[in-house]
């Protein structure tokens, strides 16, 4: 899978979860899967990111779930420093940073998937709208 969303932008957005102005200015606020614009984009992006992190924390693969819990603890719950979270999760320092990077990468991949799904759904809706528009002689309705 191609990684469209740079984990660096993702990290900046996660660091700004409680800052609506910064979130609205994030390149990620323009994602089609955010489904909001302007000030509402910040709320939409925040909700999307938190949902994706919780989804990752509930993953069946233990390393993925650990990466998700790490991201939720650090960026959403803000329970403390990297060191404190590593201790809470019983992770060595190198393992903590591997999980952090894995979590950011998996989250970026999930955003890519959601973006693709949203784009396909919108294209499908646009095609259906064109096919059922009266006066164009292309109605697919039952006659």
- Give pLDDT tens digits for 118-137: 888 866 665 655 666 555 55
Q: Are 17 and 48 in contact (CB under 8 A)?
A: no
Q: Which two tokens stand for residue 52?
A: 């994706």
Q: Give the whole-number percent of the chain exceeding pLDDT 70.
A: 78
Residue 47: CB partners within 8 Å, gap ≥ 6? none
Banded model confidence at residue 143, pLDDT cuts 50, 70, 90: very low
**Mean local confidence (pLDDT), 82-94:** 95
**Mean local confidence (pLDDT), 42-59:** 95
pLDDT of amino acid 118: 86
Give ∠ CA 93-46-61 in degrees, rounded to 5.
Answer: 45
pLDDT of amino acid 120: 84
Give ∠ CA 63-68-69 in degrees, rounded to 5.
Answer: 100
pLDDT of amino acid 124: 65
Q: Distance between CA 106 and CA 83 in Å, rounded?
A: 22
The helices-and-strands tally (H runs, E runs) of the chain is 6, 0
31 SS3 class? coil
Report which of residues 116 and 125 the model is more confident about. Answer: 116
pLDDT of amino acid 4: 54
């Amino acid at each position: 899978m191609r990684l469209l969303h740079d984990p660096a932008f993702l990290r900046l957005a996660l660091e700004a979860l409680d800052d609506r102005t910064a979130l609205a200015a994030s390149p990620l606020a323009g994602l089609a899967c955010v489904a909001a614009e302007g000030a509402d984009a910040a709320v939409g992006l925040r909700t999307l990111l938190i949902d994706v992190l919780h989804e990752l924390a509930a993953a069946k693969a233990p390393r993925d779930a650990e990466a998700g819990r790490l991201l939720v603890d650090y960026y959403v719950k803000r329970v403390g420093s990297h060191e404190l979270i590593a201790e809470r999760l019983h992770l060595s320092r190198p393992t903590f940073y591997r999980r952090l990077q894995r979590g950011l990468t998996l989250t970026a991949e999930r955003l890519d998937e959601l973006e693709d799904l949203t784009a396909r759904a919108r294209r499908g809706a646009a095609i259906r709208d064109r096919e059922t528009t009266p006066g164009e002689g292309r109605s697919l309705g039952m006659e």
